[in-house]
Chain A
Amino acid sequence: DAKTTQPPSMDCAEGRAANLPCNHSTISGNEYVYWYRQIHSQGPQYIIHGLKNNETNEMASLIITEDRKSSTLILPHATLRDTAVYYCIVGNMNYGGSQGNLIFGKGTKLSVKP
């Protein structure tokens, strides 16, 4: 079972920031938060990950609450090409055996509109 809870869908206006929330209240101390996205009929694409601190890369920013029970993925200036299903996943950093598997739930379907 997925260890995260995400809204099933969200809309965002083109050019505006898209803020995608994720709850992971049962996260343990050695688990990272990962975000991936999947554009229709393609393989998932890695976006960003974090453990405790906020992170930023060329694609997005990740804000993790101090208690680590929730996080927000921020796409600062959404474009039509950002329309996709976004997956929030928590995973063990010690990936031996099946622990290397990341459990992808249903994610949030983000629709960016003109």
Chain B
Amino acid sequence: DGGITQSPKYLFRKEGQNVTLSCEQNLNHDAMYWYRQDPGQGLRLIYYSQIVNDFQKGDIAEGYSVSREKKESFPLTVTSAQKNPTAFYLCASRRSGTGANVLTFGAGSRLTVL
């Protein structure tokens, strides 16, 4: 079945360490997104990419970095510069073209900084 796979599901990190969250999709979608969710809150956009080798900052990009070397993959690195990285991270993708904008989400990765 087509979908989005995020890994790891749970991750613990010491302060000062970088960590990379994986996001892979086999939906043949062009656009991919990373969101952050804090307890009881909505989703906030970190980065998005509409095409391979291109990505743009979202609303809260500081302390994060991404790459888009392959259509299927959009990894997110949480750097030591991110002041409050403990959160639930969600990756999403959508097909390109006109019409309705339906996002498909992964199951999420929960990062805890010790």
Q: Contact residues of A with B, CB < 8 Å?
A: 2, 32, 34, 36, 41-46, 49, 51, 87, 91-98, 100-107
A82 to chain B, nearest CB (A): 18
User: Which listed residue (B40, B98, B105) contacts A93, Cβ 8 A?
Assistant: B98
Interface size on B, residues (CB 8 A): 30
B56, A43: Cβ atoms closer than 8 Å: no
B107, A101: Cβ atoms closer than 8 Å: no
Task: Tell me the total A-B contact number using a CB cutoff of 8 A.
Answer: 70
B102: A residues at CB distance < 8 A: 34, 46, 49
B103, A93: Cβ atoms closer than 8 Å: no
Task: Give Cα distance in the complex from A51 to B100, angstroms.
Answer: 9
B56: A residues at CB distance < 8 A: 97-98
A24 to chain B, nearest CB (A): 15
Task: Give Cα distance in the complex from A36 to B43, angstroms.
Answer: 12
